[in-house]
Structure 1
């Protein structure tokens, strides 16, 4: 999908309660497919979401890592230790890790980004 067309659809669909007639449309399906299958559309939509939330995504090696770290934080910016949907955390010390969901704060420290392979530094 052309990025400009995606941006137009994003403005119409994102963050809104949509009736079933809309979510069952071919246009909506194409929009959802573009988010999942088109890197330019995914990157643009993710950057827009993180900008709107005031999250400093540009300090991360890739948008996927930035988005997953953002998703690991609660509304106060603290790590959500008890959320099984969290797949990566970044600690204040600059360490990144994959949480072990055992009820505590255990993690497996990682040194490379799981998405782009960039060496993660403190």
Structure 2
């Protein structure tokens, strides 16, 4: 999908309660597919979300990493240790890790981004 068309659909669909007939429409299905399958659309939508939240996404190697780190933080910007949906954490020391959901702060330190393969620096 063209990015400009995606932006138009995003304006119409995102953050709104939509009626069932809209959710079943071909346009909405194309929008959903684009956000999940088209990297440019995903990156744009994710950047918009993170900008609204005041999150510094530009310091990350890719939008997926920025988004997953953002999702790992609570409202105060602290790492959520007890949330089983968290797939990656970034600690103040600059370390990245995949949490082991064992009730503690155990993690497997990683040196490369699992999504884009970039070497992670501290």
- Shorter-chain-normalised TM-score: which range? over 0.9
The match for 1:25 is 25
Q: Structure 1, residues 59-110: CA drift from partner, whole Å, max 9, x if none?
A: 0011110000000001110111111110000000000000000111100000
Structure 1's unaligned 5+ residue stretches are none
Cα distance in 1 for partners of 2:75, 2:33 equals: 29
Note the C-alpha offset of 1:21.
1.2
In structure 1, how many angstroms separate the alpha carbons of the residues matched to 2:79 and 2:19?
34
Corresponding position of 2:94? 94
Count residues with an aligned counterpart.
Answer: 122
| 2:66 counterpart of 1:66 | yes
- The TM-score normalised by the length of structure 2 is 0.98
Q: Please report the TM-score for the alignment, with normalisation by the length of structure 1.
A: 0.98
How many Å apart are 1:36 and its aligned residue?
0.7
Offset of residue 11 of structure 1: 0.4
Query: What is the SS of the residue equivalent to 1:68?
Result: helix
Specify the alignment match of 1:4 in structure 2: 4
Runs of 5+ unmatched residues, structure 2: none
Match of 2:11, SS?
Answer: helix
In the TM superposition, what is the alpha-carbon distance from 1:29 to its structure 2 partner? 0.3
